[in-house]
Chain A
């Protein structure tokens, strides 16, 4: 029997990049997968086919997780179709790439709502569908604690996401729900080019990463899968850094 057989997992932003890899990995482990997407229906449809080919159920729901009404209807659909949820992967992210002095209130709210507030609302809704416990994993980034050019409000939103992860871990522990987070370094995805000022960042990150290569979406997915298994149940409220050692090598040593 596969470790996650019989479980139902929701992966927000699950059709592309890191979310796509997570969706496929959890399907490999036997879970039925609900992917949430915002704009790319064709990506969602192809991901659904890839998941179904693994012999599990797959369902896609369009929603902007920054809009409370969208989240409400997404969870109503999950309740109607699956009746429960075992795993929540809070992965969807967006953001306005500007330095602090150029940020306006709208850009701040947009980013904070999608990256941080959505996890609060999804966790609240998910907990209602997890009467027998469950797992939640938030996908953060090193920008929550390190400063990177034009990443400002995304970094701040990730710091809020990480703090919320810790609070939820304690507050939901009596319900048998494990909550943890993952902070990734620069991961090789389509999104990378939108959040970096330097187009050469992928190459720079690769050159400086002690592990000798960039972090791939599959690296994140493997860790997510572990955090969704009972083997990891004593890890609570932790933000696990996965960056090939990049953030430790201050002087760029390998």
Chain B
């Protein structure tokens, strides 16, 4: 399963939705996620990939596409 698919699966579980769509014009707010949903997703992603997401770096992310790319970058950095 790709990173994007895994994140979608995590988002679907947290948000109780089945049709999750990520793109450069979709934000988590558009998906109906509030700040607690986002925290739950971050924790699940960190646990899944054994990575640490940095709040300051994530503040620059504006859409779900960038979010997926950010996670992919963190996984790659881990090696």
A, B bound: yes
* A binding-site residues for B, Cβ under 8 Å: 38-42, 64, 96, 104, 106-107, 110
Interface centre among A39, A64, A104, A106, by most B CB within 10 Å?
A: A39
In the assembled complex, how far is the CB of residue A40 from the closest CB belonging to chain B, in whole angstroms? 7
Give Cα distance in the complex from A79 to B65, angstroms: 45
Which 5 pairs across A and B sit closest by C-beta, in order of nearness? A42-B52, A110-B36, A41-B52, A106-B36, A107-B36
Task: Contacts A40-B52, A41-B52, A42-B52 given; indicate if A96 touches B36 (C-beta within 8 A).
Answer: yes
* B binding-site residues for A, Cβ under 8 Å: 34-36, 42-43, 46, 52-53
> Which residue of the partner chain B has the closest CB to A97?
B35
> Which residue of the partner chain A has the closest CB to B53?
A39
Of A39, A64, A107, the residue contacting B52 (CB under 8 A) is A39
Contacts A39-B43, A104-B34, A107-B36 known; list 12 others, CB within 8 Å.
A38-B43, A39-B42, A39-B46, A39-B52, A39-B53, A41-B52, A42-B52, A64-B43, A96-B35, A106-B36, A107-B34, A110-B36
Residues of B within 8 A of A96 (CB): 35-36
* Inter-chain contact total with CB atoms closer than 8 Å: 19
**How would you classify the secondary structure of chain A's contact residues: helix, strand, loop or mixed?**
loop
> Which residue of the partner chain B has the closest CB to A104?
B34
In the assembled complex, how far is the CB of residue A110 from the closest CB belonging to chain B, in whole angstroms? 6
> Which residue of the partner chain B has the closest CB to A42?
B52
In the assembled complex, how far is the CB of residue A146 from the closest CB belonging to chain B, in whole angstroms? 24
Give Cα distance in the complex from A38 to B53, angstroms: 12
Give Cα distance in the complex from A106 to B35, angstroms: 11
Give Cα distance in the complex from A110 to B35, angstroms: 11
Give Cα distance in the complex from A60 to B34, angstroms: 30
Give Cα distance in the complex from A40 to B54, angstroms: 9
Residues of B within 8 A of A107 (CB): 34-36
Residues of B within 8 A of A110 (CB): 36
Residues of A within 8 A of B35 (CB): 96, 107
Residues of A within 8 A of B52 (CB): 39-42
17 A-B residue contacts at CB 8 Å?
A38-B43, A39-B42, A39-B43, A39-B46, A39-B52, A39-B53, A40-B52, A42-B52, A64-B43, A96-B35, A104-B34, A106-B34, A106-B36, A107-B34, A107-B35, A107-B36, A110-B36
